[in-house]
């Protein structure tokens, strides 16, 4: 099943609901081929503006989901007709205001936000995941293992065949080869990779064909931190409002630079892109 794709700057995202995404993943798992799922957020869109390899990897993925309120804001604003400077600026401010305070009024071309954490839970809780073999790799030492225990407790019928940190920042080619060998020994069908973007997407792109048993590979960023309990996730009403970025910032003030990139930098990039003033 192929979805309509929405272009946001140098990246694309699929126009899909979580239910439709799950149906596609079910098809992926029944296939003889491997598939790459990207959970696209605002930081990744900004990074892809200057990293053409990263942009290509995102756009070549089999499924790209909108993981972040910024992606929905961008799609909503880009949907509006191009106008004069001040009306367009007013439209952008109104779009952001509605996204934050009245998310149900924020009618964009993308039907909903699908977080990587929620998609992991939905996959593990689906009928088609029963007895599927899953491998977890990434995050800090011990976090993948703790994540595996939480997922197994919540979804007893899944089979987690491996959970490890994987490779570090400056890992060698030999260390990566050893990781691939460990994964292939366990023959997983699904792998969740938590190296952070763009490293996880590039790693999947470069290594997926070396792991023939895997049918679904998904980069999941910091999802293991939340699932394992290392980082407390925002309450449901905060998630629904799209304020998880603020909740995360209050817990980790050092993320202020990343939050700036994911909010204001993306906002101005899409504004000037629409005005046709960015050199392409």
How confident is the model over 59-83, as a mean pLDDT? Answer: 80
**E-assigned strand segments in the chain:** 5-8, 11-14, 35-40, 63-66, 133-138, 159-164, 190-194, 216-219
Burial class (CB in 10 A: 0-12, 13-18, 19+), 122: middle
What residues are paired with 13 via a beta bridge? 6
Length of the chain equals 280
CA distance 9 to 230: 34
Least Cα distance to 11 among 49, 65, 53 occurs for 49
Range scoring the smallest mean pLDDT among 41-45, 67-71, 183-187: 67-71
- Cα–Cα distance list, 92 to 18, 58, 85, 95, 264 (Å): 26, 25, 11, 5, 11
pLDDT digits 0-9 by tens, 98-156? 555 555 555 557 888 899 999 999 999 999 999 899 999 999 999 999 999 999 999 99
- Write the DSSP assignment of 174-203 as a string of letters: HHHHHHHHHHHHH--SEEEEES-TTHHHHH
CA distance 116 to 13: 14
Query: What are the extents of the domains in the chain?
Result: 1-274
How confident is the model over 207-232, as a mean pLDDT? Answer: 95
Q: What is the pTM of this model?
A: 0.85
CA distance 135 to 85: 50
Query: By the 8 A CB rule, do 46 and 269 touch?
Result: yes
pLDDT digits 0-9 by tens, 3-12? 899 999 899 9
Q: Which residue has the higher pLDDT, 211 or 68?
A: 211
CA distance 161 to 174: 22
Most confident of 66-75, 132-141, 234-243: 132-141
Q: What is the mean pLDDT of the chain?
A: 84
Q: What pLDDT sits at residue 111?
A: 87
Within 8 A by CB and 6+ apart from 165, the residues are 137, 138, 139, 140, 141, 142, 143, 144
């Amino acid at each position: 099943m192929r979805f309509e794709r929405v272009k946001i700057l140098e990246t694309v995202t699929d126009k899909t609901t979580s239910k439709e995404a799950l149906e596609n993943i079910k098809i992926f798992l029944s296939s003889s081929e491997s598939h790459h799922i990207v959970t696209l957020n605002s930081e990744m869109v900004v990074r892809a503006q200057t990293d053409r390899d990263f942009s290509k990897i995102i756009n070549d993925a089999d499924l790209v989901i909108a993981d972040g309120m910024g992606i929905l804001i961008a799609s909503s604003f880009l949907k509006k007709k191009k106008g004069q400077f001040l009306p367009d600026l007013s439209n952008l401010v109104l779009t952001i205001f509605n996204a934050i305070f009245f998310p149900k009024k924020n009618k964009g071309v993308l039907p909903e936000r699908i977080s990587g954490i929620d998609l992991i839970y939905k996959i593990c809780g689906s009928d088609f995941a029963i007895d599927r073999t899953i491998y977890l790799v990434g995050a800090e030492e011990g976090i993948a293992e703790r994540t595996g225990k939480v997922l197994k407790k919540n979804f007893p019928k899944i089979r987690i065949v491996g959970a490890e940190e994987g490779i570090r920042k400056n890992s060698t080619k030999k260390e990566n080869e050893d990781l691939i060998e460990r994964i292939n020994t366990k023959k997983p069908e699904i792998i969740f990779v938590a190296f952070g973007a763009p490293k996880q997407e590039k790693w999947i792109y470069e290594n997926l064909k070396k792991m023939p048993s895997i049918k679904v590979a998904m980069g999941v960023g910091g999802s293991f931190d939340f699932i394992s309990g290392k980082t407390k996730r925002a309450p449901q009403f905060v998630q629904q409002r799209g304020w998880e970025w603020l909740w995360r910032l209050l817990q980790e003030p050092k993320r202020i630079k990343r939050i700036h990139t994911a909010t204001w930098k993306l906002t101005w990039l899409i504004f000037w892109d629409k005005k046709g003033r960015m050199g392409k």
